[in-house]
Amino acid sequence: MADDIIAYLEAIDRDACYRVESVLKESPLETTELVSFVGANGAKQGPYVRKRFDAEAGLGAVYARIMDAQRAGSRFLHLPRVFDCYELGRERAVVMEYVAGETLADVVYRCDPSLVLAADLFPRLCDAVAELHERFDPPIVHRDLKPSNIIVTADALTLIDFGIARTYREGADDDTRHFGTRAYAPPEQFGFGQTSVRSDVYALGMLLCYCLTEQTPDAKVREGGFVDERIPANLRPVLAKATAFDPAGRFASARELKESFLAAAGGYGAPLVASAALVPEGMRSAHEEVTSAIIQGDVAWIDPVNGTARRSSRRTVAAIARGLLALSCMLLWVTACIMCALDPQYYLPQMHEQGLPRAVVAAQYILLAVVGVLVGWVAFDRRYLEERYPRLPKWPFEHAVRKCVIGTVACLLAVGMLPLAF
């Protein structure tokens, strides 16, 4: 009992040493904060990430295993450095390295999905997951692999957010807790069996499709064999096997999936370090500063607003600005067409003088309004909305242009043919 009280008081002292700079994420079971360490002399070190979990929900337990392995001398290329783990009442707190960089979602959004991009990133992603599986015995299963939980920098790829990760239990029938992002989580993660390394293989297959299309494949796409013009035919069987419903039908490991991908990709796969263009210059310098400071043990405060957050915000603002411009032009055009359709005699006296029935003129301008809607639909950058609202229908840009051209030609032909009927 006395030992428990001492441990609790020590945890309070440790917790009080951290100053919260900002709250990055908050939910009923987990809070993620950007913190700095303030010493007794007032000196500040950081930034660090501190996560607070509901210990009774069983979250965050894996961080202690990672920290113990790192303190024992293990070096991991794709995992953040965990500095401290402690219990504070019903909370489990974890303090770890702040990893500067872009998320995989940011990189795919900025560079556009392609086989070249997938060939550059996906093998490293498989290596990162293999490190988690192979360097721990029993293996750690991440269970929440998704674009926002993968950080890409100029020379590294790092997995983050191990809140729902768990240690594989030999002989268990299913998981005690069922969490995860449904779009990337395999069926067994929601009550159909115990998660294993093959559960992460499923998520890797979904991420490969995301790198190729910037879309999360739904059940229809998976059942259809990933038939998509953006996905090379020889990669479709790889995707189908990785995301098989039955874990026994999937690749046995992340490394096996990587080898099959490289064989099917036909020789792509330059080292990530050669692709510094994937990460903006400002991002590289911020990452190098933080990494260097941590290695030297002389950590200085690096304001993350100067790195990832600002650039991500700029991309969002630019996308919204382009969307508003396209929407404004479309609304202006459509409004003008509707006004002409409602009162052609006032707005278009020359058309009225031609003797065309009012209904014909109105129909012509309604068709021209439809053309404006089609063009605005193509010009509008929908990726921001699709990311925020996954249920929105998604059309590849090429398909949207094709539909717009067909619809525009049909409307213009109708506009020209209508007067001939009278």
- 0.85 cut: is pTM over it? no
Residue in the structure block whose two tokens are 């939980």: 149
Cα separation, 290 vs 34, whole angstroms: 14
Structure-token pair, residue 298 = 């002389």
**What's the CATH number for 2-97?**
3.30.200.20
Query: Per-residue b/e over 69-107, b at no fewer than 16 CB within 10 Å?
Result: bbeeeeebebbbbbbbbbeeeebbbbbbbbbbbbbbbbb
Q: What is the pLDDT tens value at each position of the chain, 422 positions in all?
A: 445 444 544 556 677 788 888 898 888 888 999 999 887 666 778 789 999 998 788 888 899 999 999 999 999 999 999 999 988 878 899 999 999 899 999 999 888 899 999 999 999 999 999 999 999 989 999 999 999 999 998 789 999 999 888 775 554 444 445 455 678 889 888 776 678 999 999 999 999 999 999 998 888 899 899 999 899 999 999 999 999 999 999 999 999 999 999 999 874 444 443 344 454 444 444 444 433 433 333 333 334 333 333 334 455 566 677 777 777 877 887 787 777 777 766 655 655 556 667 777 778 778 888 888 888 777 776 665 665 565 566 566 666 778 888 888 888 888 888 777 66
Instruction: Answer yes or no: are the C-beta atoms of 179 and 170 closer than 8 Å.
Output: no
pLDDT for the residue 299: 36
pLDDT for the residue 384: 59
Superfamily of domain 102-278: Transferase(Phosphotransferase) domain 1 (1.10.510.10)
Structure-token pair, residue 284 = 């590289």
Residue 64: name the closest of 35, 37, 93 by CA: 93
pLDDT for the residue 373: 83
DSSP for residue 90 = T
pLDDT for the residue 294: 33
Instruction: Answer yes or no: are the C-beta atoms of 411 and 366 closer than 8 Å.
Output: no
Q: Where are the domains of the chain?
A: 2-97, 102-278, 309-421
